[in-house]
Structure 1
Amino acid sequence: MDAQSVRWGSRQGDNGYDGNKKVKGVKRNIITDRNGFILARKVCNAGIHDSKMAHDLCGLADDVWEDLRKVLSDRGYRGDVDKDIEKDFGIELEVSNTPNGVKGFLPKPLRWVVERTFAWLDSCRRLARNYEILNESAEEMIDFAAIKFLINKI
C-alpha cells in the first residue's frame, strides 16, 4: 500500500495541497499484489494524510479480495489505523520502518513493487497529471491503465 501525490491539471477538480511533498493536486492510493497489479485504488484530495485513507482502501480491497490477509505499507500509515483495519477487515497492516542511523534511500523487500506500479502509471500520458474533474474519473483512468498492463502480460 502506498500513495502518490500528483500535480493538478484541472482548476475545477478537488485539489488539495500535500505539504510533505509540496504538491497541489490529488493523491492516488493503491494496494498491489506481489506482481505489481492493482488490487484496490482510491483517489482523494492531496491534503488528506495517508493513514486516513488506509481504512477506506483496505475496505475496498476486502470487498473484492476476501483472501487478503496482510498488507505491507510505509511509515505514512503508522498510528492506530492498523488496529482498526485488523478489527474491521481481518487484514494485518505491516508498517515498514527504516533502521536507526540509516540516511537516504533504502529499498525494502517487496515494497519496491508498489513504487514500480506508480512508475508504470506515470508512463501513461493521461496519468502524468490529474486532468480529471471528478476523483471517480481519475480512478477509472487508473483502471484503464491497469487493464493495459494486464493485457501486455498475457
Structure 2
Amino acid sequence: MAGKGTPATALLAKAGVAHRVHTYEHGRGAAYGLEAVEALGIDAGSVFKTLVAEVDGTLTVGVVPVSAMLDLKALAAAVGGKRAKMADVAVAERTTGYVAGGISPLGQRKRLPTVVDASAEHLVTMFCSGGRRGLEIELAPADLARLAQATFARIATT
C-alpha cells in the first residue's frame, strides 16, 4: 500500500495505518486539489489541500478542503496566535521537503504545528497529498491527525 516511496507513504507504512494511494497524471495547472478531484472522480468535500502559513513568525500547516480557502485568522486562533500570513513558497518547500502542489501534512522534513479543518472529522476517509503532485493518500481523518500531531478546528472559509 505504500506506493512509490515518499516520506508520507513511508510514515504510513511504518505506522501500519490503513490507507490507499491514488495516482493520476498531473497536468500543468496550478489548482492541484481540484485536479485530483476531477482526475480521480471523487467528491471535492473529501479532498484536502495542505497550506503552509506563518503564525506569529512560526511556520504552521493548515489542511482545508480544496473547494475552500484557508482562513488565516482562524488558523492563528487555533494555535493560540494573533497574526497569520501565507508562507513564502520556497520556505514552505525547504521546510517540509516537498514541492508546492505536493506538500503532504505527513512525513515533513520538520514537524510543524498542524491544524485540520473540522469538516474532515465527520468523514470516513479523506484525501490529502501523498508528497508529490499526482499522488493522493486516502485515510481516516483521525489517523492523519494522530500521525501529524494535528488538531481539528474550523479554519476553512468559502
Whether the TM-score (by the shorter chain) exceeds 0.5 is no
- Please indicate the TM-score interval, normalised by the length of the shorter structure: 0.3 to 0.5
TM-score by length of 2: 0.35
Q: TM-score with structure 1 length normalisation?
A: 0.36
Structure holding more strand per residue: 2
